[in-house]
Structure 1
Amino acid sequence: MNSKRTGRTPESALAELRRRLEAGLVSARLNKSQLAGLAGLSRGTVQEAFKAGARVPSTFTVAALARVLKLSAAELQELRRDAAGGVSGEGPGRPIGQWEPHALEVHPAGHAPGGSRSVEQRVLPGYVRREHDRLLAEVVREAEQGRSRMVVLVGESSTGKTRACWEAVQPLAEKGWRLWHPFDPTRAKAALEELQDVGPRTVVWLNEAQHYFGDRLVGEQVAAAVHALLIEPERAPVLVLGTLWHQYFTQYTALPGADGADPHSRVRELLSERTVSVPEAFNASELAVASSLARGDVLLADALTRARADGRLCQDLAGAPMLLKRYENGSPAARALLEAAMDARRLGFGLHIPQAFLTDAALDYVHDSDSDQLIDDWAEKAYAELATKVHGKRAPLARVPPRQQQRPPGSPAPTGNGASRIQGPVFRLADYLEQHGRSVLRHRCPPASFWHATLQHITQPDVLDTLARAAERYHRLQWAHHLHHRASHHYSRSALVQPVRMHEEARGLSAAETFRLATNLLVRLALMREKAGDHNTPESLHQQANEDNSPGALVRLALMREKAGDHNSPESLYRRAADFGNDFPQLFPDHPPSRMLHRLWPYGLDPDGTPTGPWSAESEALPQASSSLPTGA
């Protein structure tokens, strides 16, 4: 484009600019390295200003060179404008409104409902402003008023730092500010080369600031250049925004060691009083605001179903798309493990899934065409693949470290059917993938390897019961039969109902009566295990029977707790047992009735055994142990 004012073409104007600079350099008797030092520019910037075929130098580079070479700044700036096609020199970057947030490394959270899954269709979920947003907004207002400012948000991965910066600069977009994100050829090199060219009303976007300040060769120089940008009045106002993980903040702000080494002195000075912390989790009031926004926001509403309990909403939004990609693009073995875990969770497993079960269950999830990949160490490699974390520190399938539950001295050991009874390593499926599995796999029956692994490795009676019923729903009746049988061997009351119901159907007993018989079986099994010297199983059996308010189970459980040194819970158990009546001699033939009456007297019996409280006597005697009971009883 020809300049209407001078008649020069951009090419001729740039050539004339460089001719005058060369003449000034000769006249000043300087080399380019000396010129760079006197002008406060990098040697690369100076070399580029003189080099034929290079881009047009910035307004600030031309001004600095004119000052040192004692040339007319006005004439050189006019040549620079003509070389740039008449566009005024505003420095690097482009208007904020022309940026797409994901190009600035805001983590994608999903796609518009019903739209394609292309990059162009990605949308941002609703935004909840928190305390750090208020502090950030104050800094932005000061910049808008004409003062150069800098702030770095410090927090863990995927806590919303970059999104907060993006939301903060929106008022500046309406005022025509520019935004520059240095990243090419490397972040540190781009920043070092062009920071001196940044003009007023520019946001310098230093996302993941460790890539700039942590560079082993030029990190300190970048920090010095940022400091120079902030203190030069002719370049104000500018706003420098950055994000940083806690580990890097700690590293850069550490004081010199005993040996005097101080590799980050300039970075430490730059960050001083210029950081704002971002919490990992939303508090209750912030979650309430998010819930209100979620009424018209599918992405936010979906994330809240998983993150409401721990408040890690940003991590869920950031990690969900990557978790899905890891599932869809994973190796056949990794996908098989994930699908086995998905089926386990949707059919009744607890959060912690045994590794031995997953490894065997996954075999039939691998397609025949990929079965040759199941070499000797296939499982080890697949678990390692799935352990790699995505945004938000979530792994598709993460190993759960063992945690010992702390109990007061003298309290009985925990019993029941929870994760504490699982032997060996356990894994937890990412919540997002669990939810995805419940949706996409809900109509699919697990393959035979799943049921076989359950039968081989699972001993939790409640899980066995649940999976047996699931097998019945899928018409896998043989597997259901074996799972019910295995559950009965582990003293599941629900499993015991099955054989009792089969034996008692002919007598016309109701479901409640049948269930009560199974409860009484649990009490008798507990007594048998006690006499056999088992000090662990009886507690679990009494607890299961206790769920149906069996008086025998209540008293026996109270006695066991007393013997174990628990002086708190027995009282409530005795009190509940006293509401059932004086039929304890038949339940406890090895305990003198006087002893039982003495214990129960404060809760509804006179010392002579006369009832003083509400009673609902159990008239039915305990059934005798049948041959169908587990052989281990």
Structure 2
Amino acid sequence: MTGSESGFLNTLRALGTFRREHLGNRPSDRALSRLAGTSASTVGDWLRGTRFPQRLEQVLAVVEGIRSEADRHGLPTATATSLLDDSRWRAAYDQELERRTQNTRAAVERAQALSAQRGDLGWPVRNLDDPFTMDVHHAIDAGEDPNDTALPLLPTYIERDHDALLHRAARQAEEGRSALTTLIGGSSTGKTRACWETLQRLPGTWRLWHPIDPSYPEAALDGLPRVGPRTVVWLNEVQHYLLTMDPTLGERVAAGLRELLRSPDRGPVLLLATAHPEDWNRLTGAPHGTGDNHPQARALLTRAGSFTRIPDTFICDPQHLLQAAQSDPRIAEAHAHAKGGRLTQYLAGVPALLERIDTAPPLAAATICAAMDLRRLGHSPALPTALLEATAHALVTDEQWNQHAHTGWLKNTLTYLSTSCKGVPGPLTLIRQRPGTSPPDQEHYRLSDYLEELGRYTRRRYCPAPQFWTAALQYALSRDDRRALARAAHDRGRVGIAASILDEYSLPGLFDRSSDYALGEEARTARAEAALIRITKERAPDTPRVLDLFFKEKEARSLQELGEQERADAIWEELAEARFPGACMRIGDRHKEAGRRTEAEQWYRKGADSGDPEAMQALVFLLAEDGLLEEATEWTERIADVGDIYAYSRLAYRFEEVGDASRAKEYFRKAVDAGLIDCYTDLIRVHWNEGDQDTAQRLYNEAVQSGETSGPMMKAERAGEHATADELAFTAVDHGTVQPLRQLLWHRLQQPDTTLGETLARKAIDAGEAFIVHGLAELFSPSEHPQSLKAMQRVFESADEIGSSHPDA
């Protein structure tokens, strides 16, 4: 046994070989892991010689386990004696530690020198000693320790299945290959803690960068060009970076992260991300409504990296859990009292939080509901006191207000909600001012992560009354917060409310009463003229090139609205020369409309060759129309690679049209696997039409499990079980697909009595799916569906003018 790294790890590998060849892989990795107090995968890595054990006691425990098995088999060979000698392992381990210490010291000195020259971002990993600055949750206070010993900041860590994915990513990065891993799970399931534990496995020369100031996406865009090798990019709550008010901002962040991952001269880097399931579905699921806003984010998260889901229940090796409970009273209490296996939630104080809310006075309960609604409707995490006061007032009845709004109610309420619960922060946490920053004019509070998620789920189909929106838009301090709230109102059919904030850059009106279901010509013209005035005012001579191109794009769109096509075309051609996304497609469309298919194809190809997904798709349509399906297939794969998974389904429909069922099934299946679960219906149909009923039935069951509920929904509808049908339609929405909801609305609005359809449409609008209802309305013909259109008119007028009543909760 030598003191060199290769010798030490080779001897570990030899120990593993001895166990395999002479002992039949006994004891198992799991049995040895119990002795060493670690995971089975870690023991397996040791015995393959791919990882250095951090504690000698763990090595000796493994050696003892194998020695006992060898004694049982009577194998006191010379090889066994050498491999199983504790004293030799101790000496070799000490030599290896000394060697690593010297190498680390030299590496740190080199890294510090390089870092000083480059101005690298972040902090050395070895200097990170406060997990709470990285958003790891505080743990409950379990009372006095019977052993009278000081407990560490965090409870004993118990590895679970998702840790193996993080370990692989860390090893890959250490070996020189950049990696991204995303953990998907509910609040307080241990996502951030798992990432923190991964940091502890990295060499001290690595750095950690957590972009947050002045805002998450702005900090990321500013710093990404300066990220150096051996950097961990901390993307906790990845929606802060990718789900932005302006979708182009989040897409630029996603594109920058993709470029960082695929640039060998900038790596290795390790990107650690976390996401709530709802945000993951929004970023990676099938686009609907006004189009696909997240192709770059989808490609980043699903194609450029690995991901796994963390269940709400705590699943681990029972022996490891018992060992942890014996050494940590917090684990012991959670193990004894957590319901439904929700151990991490108990440790994070969730039961105590819920108890505080359940026993809250009416105004305190209203304040929490207001905070939940503000966050789920788009306000940033920092909630000003005046905003909480005004929106809470909008959520209580006159009787409640008159009975409980005594002098000082707000101060008492905030004290009640910000007091710690069993040692962890309360429902609201006062945001402390950082040194060196200007003091705010009022205090700001942050809502508990768990309550934020709870509100997003339990209140997801509730639209606040008009007085809430008025208060929220008046007291939100930043322009971005006001615009985010206005967009949320707009998405819920409250166009009149949103119009007070959104300007000419906003989404179009949903339901203009002057023209049944389209935005009126007069309104469009006025908005386009206002946009040109604003562009002229804001575009300065020193405007950066990239921003100037965005101004030009808005100018071209506005000119088109005003009918000045020649001026617009000239700007589109200028943008095309600058490789601005969508410009080549616009010019190609103009040629195609004029019947100049050759010129249209040339422009589409020019845009496609520059990597513009819209031009690629336009080219696919043209090729498919001409029957050139093989080339269309090649371009479809390229489109999907940059995140537009709808390309699969579009090509599948084309194959079905020409009678190629085999290729249609192939691409419907690709669409489903990429996240377009709507396409289950098409895949089932093709199999059924071929007479393959067994596969069709299997796919039907698979679809329902994935959230594609059209089949059971329409069965319930035909049976008169309308409430069940409604719930199945919204279950599909929760899974990221709106096709069942569309189908049910279409069915009901064509009935002689449209009452059920109007009720469902209002529910959909209140849940934030106004564009789905509007898009359906556009499919009705004034001559063939006059009754359906009148129903739609009533629905949008009701939403915009009346609003919703208070929720029951």
- TM-score for both structures, normalised by structure 2: 0.30
More helix by share: 2
- TM-score for both structures, normalised by structure 1: 0.38
Q: Which has the larger radius of gyration?
A: 1
